Structure 1
């Protein structure tokens, strides 16, 4: 892992391969290793001739942990992604985001459109606009003294995942309460890049993928059959669809 200073925050990142750059942005409570390396994305994309770059979002993985909500809006985290491209001297990259990473990618595409060539929104459909509930329950679960205190099944799943990844639970709790910046239908309609929306057919978190595509001027939909929000990440259909979309 390497790291760089992103406006005063230390951000860790990893890269492999040579060729056209692809920036990967992981989801909430995950990190580059769990979201991208373990499921085979680095191997697939680098093997296809790409320069693959993934950061650990602030508060996650090996990046700096912060405990003020002001540090965690998705638009702020999109600034980390842009500054990583600056740090590496990359003028433009394809961007693949999953779940929270998809929301961050949307802000990157709106705030720095010249830095993005193509977009992939994985694990997030129309709920990018409609919003995803449960942030307070997830934060409470992360802050609970013990797992046995957590009764809500969805929040409990995040607590278990955070423990498995040995994450800083207070940093994640702070993040979840601040990172779900609203994105309007007008915002989505303003995204001029070609964009692929990839959602599992059993994903109850993302919301309808086709409904988001219908708002995008240049949107395409990829249905990841029989996969939910967690299992869609490493699916071979997802990888093949991304490679096809990027033009391999």
Structure 2
């Protein structure tokens, strides 16, 4: 695996981790996580690469090894969609697949539903209808985590989230700016997502609402359930295997 950096649309330096060779698959991680935490640490990238793919794993701005600018002008609406589009343009991708977990899934659906990106196939992990149409509630939760960071008591539901942000070394000033760039997705746009789509979610994952309901709203979706909660499902081999098997089956 190799890591390189490229300049996004506004000059922000973003990290890209590449593994394998073959058909390009762009993978996007979850909120306040990273490519390392979602895809690499648990070996999902290797399982998929073994099926004949070059796995292209972006670190979003404010995440992983990418820059975390603190200037408000670096955070226009849907900035992450623009970053992914900049990656696709940078690599000159035309025939490729796209996948994401949680925030990565949400970003992918925004990009496809609005016609910004046109992957041949799409993977949506750890995402349900509420995660798309009720983002304001989710955002308010994480703003509280950031604003009350040092004062959240053990036992508070937000305590675990605070510890996770701390463990990932997230720049809280940049993260606070990023949270305001993510609008709700009008579920009425989901019929625009016409390509074959895998919706995959943990059997105990309710963080973003109903994943089966999301699959039902997509014109050409398969739903697969894997073991685990929202945070736990990415740590199990079942997630990567489900993604690899679906890619092989729909090739």
Taking structure 1 as the reference length, the TM-score comes to 0.90
Residue 4, structure 1, aligned to residue 26, structure 2? no
1:118-142 deviation digits (Å, cap 9, x = unpaired) = 1111010112343242422322322
Give 5+ residue unaligned stretches, structure 1. none
Q: CA deviation at 1:223?
A: 1.1
Which stretch shifts more, 18-27 or 161-170?
Answer: 161-170
Structure 1 stretches (4+) deviating beyond 6 angstroms? none
Q: CA deviation at 1:238?
A: 2.0
Residue 34, structure 1, aligned to residue 37, structure 2? yes
- Structure 2 CA distance for aligned equivalents of residues 154 and 177 of structure 1: 22
Distance 1:89 1:129, change over 3 A: closer
Which stretch shifts more, 21-30 or 6-15?
Answer: 6-15
Verify the 8 A CA contact 1:137 1:152 in the aligned structure 2. no
- Structure 2 CA distance for aligned equivalents of residues 232 and 69 of structure 1: 34
- Structure 2 CA distance for aligned equivalents of residues 78 and 135 of structure 1: 17
- Structure 2 CA distance for aligned equivalents of residues 74 and 33 of structure 1: 26
Q: CA deviation at 1:151?
A: 6.7
- Structure 2 CA distance for aligned equivalents of residues 240 and 164 of structure 1: 27
Matched with 2:239 is: 238
Distance 1:245 1:42, change over 3 A: same
Which stretch shifts more, 215-224 or 71-80?
Answer: 71-80
Distance 1:214 1:69, change over 3 A: farther
- Of residues 156, 159, 162, the one that matches 2:159 is 156
- Structure 2 CA distance for aligned equivalents of residues 204 and 214 of structure 1: 16
Structure 2 counterparts to residues 1-248 of structure 1, below 5 A: 1-8=3-10, 9-67=12-70, 71-72=74-75, 75-112=78-115, 115-132=118-135, 133-144=137-148, 146=150, 148-150=151-153, 153-179=156-182, 181-225=183-227, 227-247=228-248
Taking structure 2 as the reference length, the TM-score comes to 0.89
Which stretch shifts more, 23-32 or 122-131?
Answer: 122-131
- Structure 2 CA distance for aligned equivalents of residues 153 and 28 of structure 1: 20
Give 5+ residue unaligned stretches, structure 2. none
SS at match of 1:199: strand
Q: CA deviation at 1:158?
A: 1.8
